A and B are shown apart, each in its own frame.
Chain A
Amino acid sequence: MATSEASTTYKKIQVRRYKPEENPEKNYLNEEKGLWAWLTTVDHKKIGLMYLASIAFFFLVGGILALILRTELWTPARSFLDADLYNQVFTLHGAIMVFFFLVPSVPTVLGNFVLPLQLGAKDVAFPRLNLASFYIYLIGALFTLTAILTGGVDTGWTFYTPYSATTGGNVIMMTLGVFILGFSSILTGVNFIVTIHKLRSPGMTWAKLPLNLWALYATSIIQILATPVLAITLLLLTMERALGIGIFDPALGGDPVLYQHFFWFYSHPAVYIMIVPGFGIISEVVSTFSKKIIFGYWAIALSSLAIAFIGFLVWGHHMFTAGQSSLANLVFSFLTFMVGIPTGIKIFNWVATMYKGSIDMKTPMVYVMIFLFLFMIGGFTGIMVGALSVDIHLHDTYYVVAHFHYVMVGGMVMAFLGGIHYWWPKMFGKMYSELWAKIAAGILFIGFNMTFLPQFIMGSQGMPRRYFNYLEQFQPFHQTSTVGAYLMGTGFLIVAIYLTYSLFKGKKAGPNPWGSRALEWQTASPPPLHNFEHIPVIINGPYDYHKPMSEFQLGVASKHNGHHAEETVDVPESAQEKA
């Protein structure tokens, strides 16, 4: 293909400059209209937006569940829920947030939208498969909703046996839902890997791959390697309940700790499925708003891969108190610390990128700062629970709850919000209110810390997680936490309002409102149906801010840029640059 022609055989191709159109008449949003066109679209951008809508819905549901939990915990005893209902609510909060929001969000929304644009491709490698992944996601969601409406599930999102094999409710529906969802995740991973390998535009070598794509690539690798194991685990669990196969049920001769190994073999790497794409967003945003070349490109790119691989070897740190051998604990504890190193490297490189930059504190950059601060706390408390003797004390307490909310909400959700604010003008061609965006970010920051900082303290003091009743000494912490949760809810509400408002009344964004050098900004906003009117040709790295913008807008005429539309081949005559 074209890449090899440009890079390995050094065939000269003539390119010319394609300045993105300021006011394109046609774009992907208005070219195919109507509900049916949306539901059957194979366009990666529209699929990304459909995911955005579904994920926003599940985030809302999960968020409401969280507020119900926090409200119930206002008093030490029963406030307004029964214990059984409370147990169902925390199970659903966890399961929905993890499987329906955290795992798919960045890859399916921002990944789908941005990945082909950043590669200079017209679409992902398998557009129909991409649409199929979306519907598989919806079918999985449907199963889960059925489970909620027909008996509910009270196992906790981890479905630990033997409790999950014996309790009432509709666990089968729930595990089947997550099983199906897994295939959506696998197919997205397959699609992204092949797209990154095979659909790079001419000149896009691995060394010029945007860091966002390195992150998505690492994520996809984890997705395809870990998710099948979750699938088989949940299938075994489903069979456990349906046929009583007994592999995990001690009453039938099985072993419950084996289940935990199986489960965490997926679910620990899954944590990196959630956070690594966030790292990609941070790299893009930090470079754009510092207007400066990224510091340590290879350090950041390879540390993503390192995290992906070491992440597979640390699952046992969820089981330090589960009765596994001390040798296993030794190894898992050591490897856990080893994941900390590449993560630290990333943080240092991002901060170093800001050095001597030209820093513009627009909303996405504000989210990067919030991310860095909160994620650091999440990371360092990870060191705490990775240390064996301390983890014995902290395991399964609110300390762990606070730790992973700092990583997941403080890290991943903040990065996601940063990404949404960064690419929003590209998605819809509209700008949101900068003032409201900053107010909301401030509220989220305060609300978040108010919710979860007290949880570190009560966790250290011994408050176990998943408790419906608690001792009175913990009440002040719980109440602060509850107030913080409502503050956070308000913050998210404001975000939803001003973003929706911007769709109708927002100012026109123009193709490149941030002055970024990255490829996705070198086409119109919103982009045309097939992303570029030409085939982009890349001669510079995505962060070469020391080079003029014109060198980032090169390409050759596209041969067939529609669905087999007959077009005359436009031979470029006024070539300004050569590759």
Chain B
Amino acid sequence: MNRLIEYMLPPAKSTLAGETDALFAFINISSFIFIIGITLTMLYFAWRYRRKSDDDVTPVISHNNILEITWSVIPLILVIIVFSWGYSTYMKKISPPSDAYEVRVVGKSWLWEFHYDNGNVSVNELHVPENRPVKLIMSSDDVIHSFYVPDFRVKMDVLPNRYTSVWFEATEQGESTVYCTEYCGTAHSNMLATVHVHSQEDFEDWLETSGGSGEDLPPVERGEMLVQQNACMTCHSTDGSRLTGPTFQGAWGSDVPLENGETVQFDENYVRESILEPNAKVHQGFQPVMPSYAGTLDDRQIDAIIEYIKTLQ
């Protein structure tokens, strides 16, 4: 049974995962006992009392109050145990320690942005230190998303009109997947991110080097890195295939047809505008769904992206 439950759950990598799993196991085991017990009783009755002739006479057993009370009270006690247990762990899950390290999280269709206390921003990669409580303060730029890390057993909806928060304390170094679990449209299932759990020193190193901003790289390479980091490729292919947004391949210098019948040239200004104010001029046949990167990307970074797109002929 223990093996089965271990198999059913993802690895437990946060301080509160164990408590959640214990309740999961408790409910599974007690349910299993009930289900098997009742099913066997049912099958036994069906066989033992099978119809022998059409004139079978059955006893008049219309009710039994003691039985009724028994099978109301025993489950009642059990569910109250489950309820209290679930509630107490839940309270721990929503009460972050006051010294928790805070990260701002912004959900956009369809990417995750993580803002750190020193101004660093990472997209679709969350870097956290090991053995230290981390509190995420989350909001959405558009529709509702939900932040879910199975390995930590935490989940919280990310709303457009208010802040929500979630906290965890990772117990081992490594990587875990972040999923969006509130349906948010076309690329909902691609709205994934990775949590990188570092040791305290490595984390500080990472913060220092800002996760490799690539400022020292040549613009084209920096642009390619930024396009990957900012999850542009979730929607824009570089090989000509059609995703949620138009492809980058061969785009440079072309005439972009707009919904209103006009065309606009794909040049520096168009790229810049489309990054900062994506829905101003939307390519014909595509939905106006791209989030704005104003505040995420600065002018030098946009320049680098432009240089990179130029190479995709």
Contacts and interface: CB of A to CB of B under 8 A. Distances in A.
* Chains A and B touch (C-beta atoms under 8 A apart): yes
Interface stretch (B43-51, B125-133, B269-277, B301-309): B43-51
Contacts of A392: 20, 90, 93, 153-155
A32 interface: no
Nearest to B76: A341
The size class of the interface chain A forms with chain B is: 35 or more
A256 B42 contact: no
B206 interface: no
A184 to B, nearest CB: 28
Contacts of B179: 462, 464
Interface in B9-48: 9-10, 16, 19-20, 23-24, 27-28, 31, 34-35, 38-39, 41-43, 45-46
Interface in A314-367: 321-323, 326, 329-330, 333-334, 337-338, 340-341, 344-345, 347-349, 351-352, 354-361
Interface in B231-279: 244
A361 B46 contact: yes
Contacts of B180: 464
Contact of B20 (A390, A456, A468): A390
A384 interface: yes
B52 interface: yes
Interface residues of B, number: 86
Nearest to A387: B86
Interface in B53-82: 54, 56-64, 67-68, 71-72, 75-76, 79-80, 82
A76 B92 CA distance: 35
B150 A461 contact: yes
Contacts, number: 262
Contact of B148 (A326, A351, A464): A464
A153 to B, nearest CB: 12
Chain A interface SS verdict (over half)? helix
A247 interface: no
A290 B49 CA distance: 9
B146 A344 contact: no
B27 A393 contact: no
Contacts of A358: 49-52, 56-58
Interface of A: 83-84, 87, 154, 156, 160, 162-163, 166-168, 250-251, 255-257, 290-299, 321-323, 326, 329-330, 333-334, 337-338, 340-341, 344-345, 347-349, 351-352, 354-361, 369, 372-373, 376-377, 380-381, 383-384, 386-393, 395-397, 456-457, 460-462, 464-471, 515, 545-546
19 contacts: A162-B144, A251-B160, A291-B58, A326-B90, A338-B79, A345-B71, A351-B38, A355-B49, A355-B61, A357-B58, A369-B46, A372-B42, A376-B38, A388-B86, A389-B16, A390-B86, A393-B20, A393-B153, A467-B188
Given A347-B38, A386-B86, 13 more contacts: A156-B183, A160-B143, A292-B61, A296-B64, A322-B159, A333-B83, A354-B46, A358-B58, A373-B35, A390-B23, A392-B93, A461-B150, A465-B181
Interface of B: 7-10, 16, 19-20, 23-24, 27-28, 31, 34-35, 38-39, 41-43, 45-46, 49-52, 54, 56-64, 67-68, 71-72, 75-76, 79-80, 82-83, 85-91, 93-94, 142-144, 146, 148, 150-151, 153-157, 159-162, 164, 177, 179-190, 244, 287
